[in-house]
Chain A
Amino acid sequence: MANARGFVAVNEEECKGCDLCVTACPVDVLHLAQHFNTHGYNPSEYDGDGCTGCGVCFYACPEPGALTVFKNWEESRHKYLNPNGEGVTSLTLKDPIKGLAVIEATGEIIALSNFLNLKFAE
């Protein structure tokens, strides 16, 4: 994950399982999960490897907050901004498979839903 070309994070609870991102993905690294989210949809899932960060799924997705796409992700270059907008620490992406992407900031694990609300500094 250190220097992945791309990475896609799915916010399971916002995904409606419409299948459009799966159809659109040019490298076929998205699929619909077997399990249901709380709304009763099968959410989209990232295979965990092979994303190029092209952003096609992002624009195919009708739900504003369901997908977040990172292009040229380099963990060492990123500083996570805390809610006050202050840069705190660097991040490590862990286990991006099966919609369980988590971010660790100096030992503190931040869940996926928080992850999508994070603000990043260059």
Chain B
Amino acid sequence: MSTKILSKSEGFYDVYDRRPGTDKDTTHYCPGCGHGILHKLIAEALTDFGVKDNAIIISPVGCSVFAYYYFSAGNLQAAHGRAPAVATGVKRSLPESIVISYQGDGDLAAIGGNEILHAANRGEAISVFFVNNAIYGMTGGQMAPTTLIGQKTTTTPYGRTVANEGYPIKMSEIIASLTAPVYVERVMMADTKSISNTRRAVRKAIKNQVEKKGFSFVEVLSTCPTGWKMTAPQAEEWIKTTLAQHFPLGVLKDISGDVEPLNLDHHLLPTDRIGKAINLPEADADQPKFVIPDTVNEEIKISGFGGQGVLSLGVWLSEFGMREGLNVSWIPSYGPEMRGGTAHCHVKLANRPIGSPLVVHPTILVATNRPSLEKFEKEVIPGGKIFWDNSLMDITPSRTDIIRYPVPATEIANQLGNTKTANVVMLGVITGVSEFLDENIVRRTLPQIFKKKHLLDINMQAFNKGLEVAASLKRIA
């Protein structure tokens, strides 16, 4: 007889480092919450099928929003109800990955009703786990579309009525009525037998995806002891006696045995067609290729007032990086700071693949107004570079462990006759002092970037001025 050990699945992190606070060993779920059981079943299945490192779990808004604390897999957290849409994008761009959309009933059946219907109707080859506890658990037990008639919640204190709130929505039946889904089943987690049945359904839904069968949907009736104001065993009993009576269990559709594996590669666009699709000019094949350093890993934050061209400067830098053959990312940061305060963007340029586009500790900070310098100066890594427009502010960086580049960009731009060229002056300085940007590539690319051709001359002058400033700054250094 061989020994068998049932222990914490390798599909979970050993320690939940992403969880804030001091407790890094337990989940944030209430005692007896069904999420934990389903998490265990999913983690076990991913590990058993050997797809754990290839899996991407899309977490919803709801209690399971923090699924990324626990699963040792790829994770994305989607906006409320949009997990199937995010899952669609992930699956289409990475057809070999195992994409799981994990959603609650408020997320999937209410705000995300549209997303799930169309993802199912398109037959996206993803696995959806729909945790139905007939209530909005995270926000304190309000009525959900799945709340039963007569069920008391904080927003239906006298019980849900047909006249006022309509009937509970049966998502599995709706999904099963569509042509594309290959597997739709409703299960519950209420006792030993039903949990083992859920385990089978979870494994089938993931197996279907491993075998490229198509859209799989598993609705899991799950407990919310806190929201239902019951003990965990009472909650399991209530699922059996009440919830499962209104939401009949069973396989609602299963054609996974009859369908051929899907060809998922047709969504991938060949690189040359992407260029044509977005009107990129042909690569300059005859030009000598710029030798980029082996270890480019620049994380750049550019910040200033809206209108100073900080977002554009970021776009250009990523454009040049792309033409040099680097991996690049650019994201703008809008927000309440859009008017008056700071608008900024995050740019990454690297030889290696880029994971998150967020820049937390910049290697380069470009600050074109005082609030930006004050706000982001402390984030720059030791030895990083700070470029600031010293014609617009009366402070200088207080740190001594960084390389300083004071650039009177706005003053120079004014002398040239157009304040708006200040960001191009800044570009010239960055190009001049940085090793990862090739002056020739920038020169060749700039005319393609500026849509208004009559402004090209003044911009090229601004760029040259920037290079001059860079040369003088280099001499000082």
Q: Is the CB of A59 within 8 A of B40?
A: yes
Contact (A64, B14) CB under 8 Å given A20-B236, A24-B191, A71-B4? no
Q: Which residues of B contact A122 (CB under 8 A)?
A: 2-3
A45 to B364, CA, bound (A): 56
In angstroms, how far is the closest chain A Cβ from the Cβ of B28?
Answer: 11
A62 to B1, CA, bound (A): 29
Residues of B in contact with A, size category: 35 or more
Q: Which residues of B contact A101 (CB under 8 A)?
A: none
Out of A20, A59, A71, name the residue touching B232 (CB < 8 Å): A20
Q: Which residues of B contact A24 (CB under 8 A)?
A: 191-192
Out of B2, B25, B32, B192, name the residue touching A62 (CB < 8 Å): B32
Contact (A19, B32) CB under 8 Å given A56-B192, A60-B192, A62-B37? yes
Q: Is the CB of A68 within 8 A of B37?
A: no
B interface footprint on A51-86 (CB within 8 Å = 1, 0 otherwise): 001011011111111111111111001100000000
Q: Is B383 in contact with chain A by the CB < 8 A criterion?
A: no
Contact (A17, B31) CB under 8 Å given A59-B40, A62-B37, A64-B43? yes
Residues of A in contact with B, size category: 35 or more
In angstroms, how far is the closest chain A Cβ from the Cβ of B321?
Answer: 41
Task: Give the residues from 223 to 260 in chain B that come closer than 8 angstroms, CB to CB, to chain A.
Answer: 225, 231-233, 236
Measured CB to CB, the nearest residue on chain B to A20 is B232
Q: Is the CB of A58 within 8 A of B70?
A: no
A17 to B231, CA, bound (A): 11
In angstroms, how far is the closest chain B Cβ from the Cβ of A75?
Answer: 10
Out of A55, A62, A70, A116, name the residue touching B36 (CB < 8 Å): A62
In angstroms, how far is the closest chain A Cβ from the Cβ of B62?
Answer: 16
Q: Is A106 in contact with chain B by the CB < 8 A criterion?
A: no
In angstroms, how far is the closest chain B Cβ from the Cβ of A30?
Answer: 13
Q: Is the CB of A63 within 8 A of B2?
A: no
Out of B5, B39, B233, name the residue touching A68 (CB < 8 Å): B5
Q: Is the CB of A120 within 8 A of B196?
A: no
Residues of chain B at the chain A interface (Cβ within 8 Å): 1-9, 12, 14, 23, 25-27, 29-37, 39-41, 43, 70, 191-192, 195-196, 199, 225, 231-233, 236
Residues of chain A at the chain B interface (Cβ within 8 Å): 11, 13-14, 16-20, 23-24, 26, 39, 41, 53, 55-56, 58-74, 77-78, 116-117, 120, 122
A-B complex: 4 closest residue pairs judged by Cβ atoms: A62-B36, A18-B32, A16-B31, A18-B31
